Structure 1
Amino acid sequence: MNPETRNDAEPVLPDDDVTEPSPLRGGIRLKLAMDLCRWAGSPQSFRSFFPGVAKAGSAYHNLYTPLQIRQARLKMLGVEEEVWRPLDLMPPIIYCRMAKGGVGKTTIAANIASCMAMQGHRVLMIDADPQASLTSMFGIDWTVEKIRHVGHALRDHEQGYPVVFDESIVRPIYADGMLDLIASDITLANIESWLTTVLNREAVVDRLFRSYVEFWSAYDVIVIDSAPGSSQLSNALMYAARCVLAVVMLDGQSIKAMEVLAHNIHELNRAYPDLHAGVHLVANGFDARQTTCQASLEILRAAYPGMIDPCIIPRYAAFARQVSLYSDAESGPILEREPNSPAAKAIIELTRSLIGFYDVKLAEQIPVIPDTQRSRRKG
């Protein structure tokens, strides 16, 4: 929900540093690049990791790509060649879900995915919401484009057809495979009636993941944005992910919705005792001027001890500006549109926290896989 369009007209914290978006999608300017790499040295020493990038004063103001950030971070760790995840190892899955809409779930999913990619991680996003808000956030107009979504992949797999993960279903968002998206459209809603006919339907997503693990293993992390509420697909995604990232707006209705989600997780664990599904909460929309925000936060902490991320996301106007009023192509996450804003800094801190919680690994923690095995991922 956009804070500026709420019926109760809650105040929106202004941003004190609004900048023009980068001219290159996923392009990272020098100051942000140094921050994402946690580089404490001088700009000149940082530039030494990028001998092919234009010097200061160029038209692009020292723009770096996510792949260049990845390569620089590897060099800082003494790793000179690309490192790949083992072909039989699934990456962590960050599954964003809530039992109601308007909590900022898509905002969090889009921004942490973008931020992880800009930090050098290879990221795959899956839009599992028929409303396709994540798809629109990254400039894809699903009302006019032909979309192959995760529902098509699930149905093909269950019916014994091979799933081909080409650009008709996996869309490149940032260059070099650093951020990809399996988009969605309104027809994804049709999968619900089909899922009722599938045997052991809670495991349908897990079966797809296991059957094509070599494809998924090309990524460091998978970020999934789910539809609000409960559905057959959302339960199947929860079964596959094992841990839900619940985005909770700090108001009474969202707290009640969190109770519904917690009960849903409990029921799934009762049906599958070996699953041990869990939840990690992100408190969103905090405004210190609103007593209900602080009260809601205390209620959450009491009800879900140790499950709330320490990074609380304030209510910022920048989040309302992510989606263009005029064109999907002009939409984009905070780090693309307003990278120096307080909202961007909050997202960076949250992303770093989630990288730790979900154990999202960069190359130095993953065994080196010879290049000859890499060819097995293709096709």
Structure 2
Amino acid sequence: MSDDTIEFSDAIAQPGMGPPRGAIKLKLAMELSRWAGSAQSFRAFFPAPTKGEGSYHNVYTPLQIREARLRMMGIEQEPWRPIDLMPPIIYCRMAKGGVGKTTIAANIASCMAMQGHRVLMIDADPQASLTSMFGIDWTSEKIRHIGHALRDHEQGYPVIFDETIIRPIYPDGMLDLLASDITLANIESWLSTVMNREAVVERLFKAYVELWSAYDVIVIDSAPGSSQLSNALMYAAKRVLAVVMLDGQSIKAMEVLAHNIHELNRAYPDLKASVHLVANGFDARQTTCQASLEILRAAYPGMIDPCIIPRYASFARQVSLYSDAESGPILEREPNSPAAKAIIDLTRSLIGFFDVKLAEQIPVVPDSTRARRKG
């Protein structure tokens, strides 16, 4: 094997094994890699399996996509981020449930990983919907969640970030999950006893910055409503990604969230927390959707992402009725659907807005003038 080739992961190289989770087929791999050449030239980045090892370039793992994109940029070795630098945080939050917040969080995290980013998801909702989305049955498994980590750190105990607390979803560290369960709700009574509780998450982030710096981005799914934990997460993240369903109740809930952000900024003038909105559930057949969108644009000028997410039945099929193990985000279950295309477009837009990089010194340039290239 020459030095110019990128090795297959063991999961693909071994005959008889199915592709690992997060692996994608050629057409989608080329799109997510932004490959403008031919399929043959794209395959040239990867070695062909030896005779008898299965089909030629069946699928590509997120790690392979990362390596290929770096190679396209002329980078031969992994340029790790500085160990004292926190990655961007995309904090998905809304003042009410049922707006598709978890769907957006799960799908943009999965899509960014499939584009070669190292992604950490944090499920900060006691309902554990994000945890279930990725096939973890929190009702039967022993879960250590963000609440355990916060409490251990504040009480002076070391936090052990092994696989009982950070679970690998895609191989090679490309998509990990800090899972949740119903016991996370107990953190509220404990937080009421903590001094400067708004900064409790930021203190954990700073204490273990070397761990977080291994990722290119952190995606957090928060519980609906307002709580002490959600405020502490917002204090640490500084930016909120608000998912707004296009109906009257969600627009009123957005007013509550905007007021919550205003109050936190008033209490901490140096914080300068901000919000970016994703309009979800658009249906051109319903006049209320268009009216709701116009109201949002008037109330929050320049804050709404240009990628509007239509209402697709595909999103309802992400969570299996029969087994958590069969659940998964749209790019895993229906990668060729219009819903998957909408998620790809949204993810590229958010990569630009939140300045997510493939490696710290290599900006990713999406279809947006908001991204910046260094040098």
How high is the TM-score relative to the length of structure 2?
A: 0.90
Question: Quick check: 1:99 aligned with 2:103?
Answer: no
- Runs (5+) with no aligned partner, structure 1: 1-21, 368-379
Q: Alignment partner for residue 264 of structure 1, among 260, 264, 277?
A: 260
- Tell me: CA distance 1:259–1:62, structure 2 relative to 1, closer, same or farther (3 Å): same
Per the alignment, residue 154 of structure 2 pairs with 158
Matches within 5 A, 1:179-328: 179-328=175-324
Which residue is equivalent to 2:136? 140
SS at 1:289's partner residue?
Answer: coil
User: Which of 338, 341, 344 pairs up with 2:337?
Assistant: 341
1:47-196 to 2 correspondences below 5 Å: 47-52=43-48, 58=54, 62-196=58-192
Contact kept, 8 Å, 2:20 with 2:171, in 1: the verdict is no
| Paired letter, 2:179 | A
The structural deviation recorded for 1:214 is 0.4
- Are the structure 2 counterparts of residues 364 and 165 from structure 1 closer, same or farther at C-alpha, using a change threshold of 3 Å? closer
Measure, in 1, the Cα distance between the counterparts of 2:81 and 2:358.
9
Deviation at 1:175?
0.2
SS of 1:96 mapped into structure 2: strand
Cα shift at 1:24 = 3.2
Report the residue type matching 1:292 in the other structure: T
* Bigger relative contact order (CA 8 A; separation at least 6): 1
Aligned residues: 346
Amino acid at match of 1:73: R
Which residue of structure 2 aligns with residue 331 of structure 1? 327
Instruction: After the TM superposition, list the runs of 4 or more consecutive aligned residues in structure 1 that deviate by more than 2 angstroms.
Output: 52-55, 57-61, 363-367
Structure 2 residue identity aligned to 1:92: P
- Matched residue of 1:362: which SS? strand
Q: 1:83, 1:113 → 2: CA distance?
A: 21
- 1:377 maps to what in 2? none
Does the aligned pair in 2 maintain the 1:85–1:366 contact within 8 Å?
A: no
SS in 1 for 2:320: coil
CA shift, 1:144, in A, is 0.3
Structure 1 CA distance for aligned equivalents of residues 197 and 315 of structure 2: 36
Q: Which whole-Å deviations, capped at 9, do the CAs of 1:8-34 have from their partners, x for residues lacking one?
A: xxxxxxxxxxxxxx9531011000000
For the residue of structure 2 that corresponds to 1:171, the secondary structure is strand
Q: Aligned-pair distance for 1:53?
A: 5.5
Q: Deviations over 1:336-367 (max 9, x none)?
A: 00001000000000000000000001137259
8 A contact 2:80–2:360 mirrored in 1:
no
Summarize the Cα distance change of 1:305–1:170 in structure 2 as closer, same or farther, 3 Å threshold: same
Cα gap change, 1:110/1:298 in structure 2, threshold over 3 Å: closer, same or farther?
A: same
Identity of aligned residues (%): 88
Secondary structure of residue in 2 paired with 1:329: helix
Deviation at residue 301 of structure 1 after TM alignment: 0.2
Q: Give the direction of change, closer, same or farther, for the CA distance of 1:99–1:78 in structure 2 (3 Å limit).
A: same
2:357 aligned counterpart, secondary structure: coil
Query: What amino acid maps onto 2:353 in structure 1?
Result: F
Provide the rounded CA distance (Å) in 1 between the counterparts of 2:54 and 2:337: 23
2-structure distance, mates of 1:83, 1:291: 49
Return the alpha-carbon distance in structure 2 between the equivalents of residues 133 and 258 of structure 1: 21
Q: Would the aligned equivalents of 1:74 and 1:364 in 2 still touch at CA under 8 Å?
A: no
Contact residue 53 and residue 62 of structure 1 kept, 8 A? no
Whether contact under 8 Å (1:77, 1:364) holds in the other structure is no
For residue 137 of structure 2, give the secondary structure of its aligned residue in structure 1: coil
Structure 2 CA distance for partners of 1:122 and 1:101, relative to 1, 3 Å? same
Taking a change above 3 Å as real, the CA distance of residues 257 and 363 of structure 1, as seen in their structure-2 partners, is same
1:40 deviates by: 1.3
User: Counterparts of 2:360 and 2:121 in 1: how far apart (Å)?
Assistant: 23
Residue of 343, 349, 355 corresponding to 2:351: 355
Q: List runs of 5+ in structure 2 lacking aligned partners.
A: 1-17, 364-375
Please name the residue that 2:10 is paired with: none
From 26, 33, 53, the equivalent of 2:22 is 26
Distance 1:128 1:60, change over 3 A: farther
Verify the 8 A CA contact 1:251 1:292 in the aligned structure 2. Answer: yes
More off after superposition, 60-69 vs 32-41: 60-69
Spell out, residue by residue over 1:201-245, the C-alpha distance to the aligned partner (whole angstroms, 9 max, x if none): 000000000111000000000000000000000000000000000
